[in-house]
Amino acid sequence: MAEVEAVQIIAESLKQQGVEYVFGIIGIPVIELSMAFQAAGLKYIGMRNEQAACYAAQAIGYLTGKPGVCLVVSGPGLLHVTGGMANAQVNCWPLIVIGGATNQDHEGIGGFQECPQVELSRPYCKYAARPATAALIPLHVEKAVRYATYGRPGVAYLDFPGNILQSKAQEARIYKALAHPAPPLAYPPHDDVIRAAKLLRQSKRPLVIVGKGSAYAHAENTLRHFIENTNLPFLPTPMGKGVVSDTAPQCVSSARTLALQKADVVLLLGARLNWILHFGKAPRYDKDVKFIQVDINPEELHNSVVASVAIQADIRPFAEQLFEQMNAVNFRFGYEQDWWKQLAVKCKQNRDTVQKMSLNTETPLNYYAVFHHLRELLPKDTIIVSEGANTMDIGRSMLLNEQPRHRLDAGTFGTMGVGPGFAVAAALFCRDFAPGKRVLCVEGDSAFGFSGMEIETMVRYKLPVTIVIVNNNGIYGGFDKDTFEAIRSEGDLTQITPPSALGVQVRYEEMMKMFGMKGYFCTEIEQLQAAVKAANQLTDRPTIINVAISPSSDRKPQSFNWLTESKL
Q: Which residues bind Mg ion (CB under 5 A)?
A: 444-446, 472
Residues numbered 381-400 forming contacts with ligand ADP, rule: CB under 6 A: none
Distance CA 317, CA 329 (A): 19
Which parts of 304-461 fold into alpha helices (H)? 315-328, 338-359, 367-377, 390-398, 419-433, 445-451, 454-460
Pairing outcome for strands 543-548 and 465-471:
parallel
Distance CA 485, CA 303 (A): 50
Report what 445 binds from Mg ion, ligand ADP, none; CB cut-off 5-8 Å by kind: Mg ion
Output the smallest distance, CB 269 to ligand ADP, in A. 7
User: Judged by CB under 6 A, does residue 213 bind ligand ADP?
Assistant: yes
Among 296, 343, 459, 512, binds ligand ADP (CB under 6 A): 296
Among 142, 300, 409, 443, binds ligand ADP (CB under 6 A): 300
Buried b (16+ CB within 10 A) or exposed e, 195-216: bbbebbeebebbbbbbbbbbbb
Cβ nearer to ligand ADP, comparing 58 with 412: 412
3-state secondary structure 478-546: CCCHHHHHHHHCCCCHHHHCCCCECCCCCCHHHHHHHHCCCEEEECCHHHHHHHHHHHHCCCCCCEEEE
User: Judged by CB under 6 A, does residue 222 bind ligand ADP?
Assistant: no
Residues contacting 110, CB < 8 A, separation 6+: none
Output the smallest distance, CB 474 to Mg ion, in A. 5
Cβ nearer to Mg ion, comparing 170 with 505: 505
Residues contacting 327, CB < 8 A, separation 6+: 229
**Which DSSP symbol is given to 444?**
E
User: Judged by CB under 6 A, does residue 315 bind ligand ADP?
Assistant: yes
Paired residues of 545 in beta bridges: 468, 520
Output the smallest distance, CB 63 to ligand ADP, in A. 14
Distance CA 423, CA 439 (A): 7
Size of the site for ligand ADP (CB under 6 A): 23
Listed residue (255, 263, 297) closest to 280, CA to CA: 263
User: Judged by CB under 6 A, does residue 239 bind ligand ADP?
Assistant: yes
User: Using CA of residue 377, residue 383, residue 387, residue 392, what is the dihedral sign?
Assistant: positive
Output the smallest distance, CB 214 to ligand ADP, in A. 7
Neighbours of 507 (CB within 10 A): 14
Report what 98 binds from Mg ion, ligand ADP, none; CB cut-off 5-8 Å by kind: none
Listed residue (61, 48, 125) closest to 408, CA to CA: 61
Cβ nearer to Mg ion, comparing 59 with 392: 392
Among 28, 139, 276, 538, binds ligand ADP (CB under 6 A): 276
Report what 270 binds from Mg ion, ligand ADP, none; CB cut-off 5-8 Å by kind: ligand ADP
Report what 472 binds from ligand ADP, Mg ion, none; CB cut-off 5-8 Å by kind: Mg ion
Output the smallest distance, CB 190 to ligand ADP, in A. 17
Between 105 and 124, how does the x/- string for binding to ligand ADP read (CB under 6 A)? --------------------
* Contact by Cβ (8 Å): 439, 464: yes
- Binding segment for ligand ADP among 60-68, 157-165, 272-280, 285-293 (CB under 6 A)? 272-280
User: Judged by CB under 6 A, does residue 256 bind ligand ADP?
Assistant: no
Residue ranges that bind ligand ADP, judged by CB under 6 A: 91-92, 152, 211-213, 216-217, 237, 239-240, 270-272, 274, 276, 295-297, 300, 314-315, 412
